[in-house]
Amino acid sequence: MPEQIYSPFTTFNFSNRNCFLTGQALTSDEEKIQVFPQWLMSRYKLEDQPFKLLDESMATYKDLKIPCAAHVNEAFLEPLENEIAVAFDIGYEAVAKLDSLKLFQWAGKLLYGIIFNEVQSGIKLQHAKGEEFNISQSIIHKFSNLHLMLQSLNLPITFEGFKPYSIFLFKTDNNIEEFGYRDEINTLTFSLRIKDFGLIICMQDNGANRAYHREMVAKIENEILHPIQFEEFCGRVFYSAYLFNRLPEYHTFTVEDTIYIEAEPLRGMSSKPLFDDWINKTYGQVLESFWKNWGFLLFEIIKNVEKPMSFLFNPDGSLINGSTLELSR
């Protein structure tokens, strides 16, 4: 008999008594794993660094944990962590050789771990007020599908003719001590800038953001980017993920014990473009946040609203060599 897909959002089971990935009952409260893996926290001294949750409460990186059956961790998660840790320690060249699905699984597990903690926190807060926990159906839809995709870790799941994600990887001239992490839970977008690379993943767009930025990617993918250049492109992707106006739909079916996930066409019955209109003023607000380390303000960024400030491209469209930028890293 084929193994069953676990759907925690059907019953809203976010108890610490069940494995986050399989739903099976746990024998001990100690069966938990870190959301941010220990090797990453140790490398960048993150354990006691503050981490703000959506309800404005503060945790530390080491506080963020999820319940996980010991044998599930040992069989499926630890081997993935070990492979990712080795590649990340080497840097860009090794990361570029990783299977993109493994990068998605690793980042997806991390982002889902944050979601799990956010949902737990939200449920406790609402119950303390004597209220039912409310969350939009579209967000439940996205989170449920991310959890479904993550079960490619432990179940014989095949993505039928598509990849559920867009991945962008660049060589980046980083400060070797810097840990640059960012996520946007509502759009399931993730970025990490460490070592000599920058990584961006849109978790659930079926490759749409990759296609949307394909011309720009073709110009910069073989360059070594200054951190401000990577953050500029990162801002573009986070903004386009916000403009992405489809809610992907998937079907699952089982053939000879293999679970296949099939994606419905994104265009569906709508003639509307996949992305809403790009508005430079809004993009400038995003960029102001991404360029916080360098102190550029919105009025500077959109001084010419038709051509916002860029460290990637000159006004004539030619690429700026990152090594010529005299900005602190």
**Which residue matches tokens 């060599």?**
321
Residues 148 and 219 in one domain: no
Query: What is d(CA 207, CA 101) in angstroms, rounded to the nearest whole number?
Result: 13
Nearest to residue 236, comparing CAs of 300, 329, 313, 156? 313
Same domain? 270 vs 325: yes
Give the pLDDT confidence score for residue 1 in this predicted structure.
40
Question: Are residues 185 and 320 both part of a single domain?
Answer: yes
Domain check: are 254 and 108 in the same one? Answer: no
Q: Of 110, 127, 157, which residue constitutes the final position of a domain? A: 157
CA geometry: angle at 230 spanning 105 and 113, to 5°? 30
Q: 67 near 19, Cβ under 8 Å?
A: yes
Token pair 């432990």 is found at 154
Q: Any bridge partners for residue 193, and if so which?
A: 180, 198
Do 148 and 175 belong to one domain? no
Domain count, the chain: 2
> Which of these, 152, 29, 40, 44, lies nearest to 86 by C-alpha position?
40
Q: Do residue 48 and residue 109 come from a single domain?
A: yes
Intra-chain end-to-end CA distance of the chain, in Å: 55
**DSSP string computed for 150-207:** HTTTTS-EEE-S--S-EEEEEEE---TT--EEEEETTTTEEEEEETTEEEEEETTSTT
CA distances from 100 to 163, 269, 325 (A): 9, 30, 31
* 170 & 207 share domain: yes
Residues 29 and 62 grouped into a single domain: yes
What is the structure's pLDDT at 328? 64
Contact predicate 171/233, CB 8 Å? no
Is there a single domain that holds both residue 37 and residue 22?
yes
DSSP state of 315: T
Determine the pLDDT at residue 189: 98
> Which parts of the chain have pLDDT scores under 70?
1-2, 269, 328-329
d(CA 110, CA 284): 28
Select from 104, 117, 110, 122 the least CA-distant residue to 168: 104
What domain range is 181 assigned to?
Answer: 160-329
Residue at which a domain ends, from 157, 174, 204: 157
Per the CB < 8 A criterion, the answer to whether 305 and 261 are in contact is no
Cβ burial of 63 (10 Å; 0-12, 13-18, 19+) is: middle
pLDDT of residue 2: 52
Left (φ > 0), alpha (ψ -120 to 50) or beta: where does 42 sit? alpha
Same domain, 16 and 36: yes
10 Å CB burial of residue 58 (0-12, 13-18, 19+) is exposed
176 and 265 share one domain: yes
Q: Is the pTM of this model over 0.85?
A: yes
pLDDT of residue 269: 63
Taking the C-alpha atoms of residue 59 and residue 57, their distance in angstroms, rounded to an integer, is 7
Last residue of some domain: 134, 157, 180?
Answer: 157
Question: How many Å apart are CA 228 and CA 47, to the nearest integer?
Answer: 26
Residue 65 in 3-state DSSP? strand
Q: Any long-range contacts for 262-267 (C-beta under 8 Å, 24+ apart)?
A: 262/160, 262/161, 262/162, 263/159, 263/160, 263/161, 263/162, 263/164, 263/206, 266/206, 266/208
Question: Quick one: 146 and 218 in the same domain?
Answer: no
Identify the pLDDT of residue 298: 95
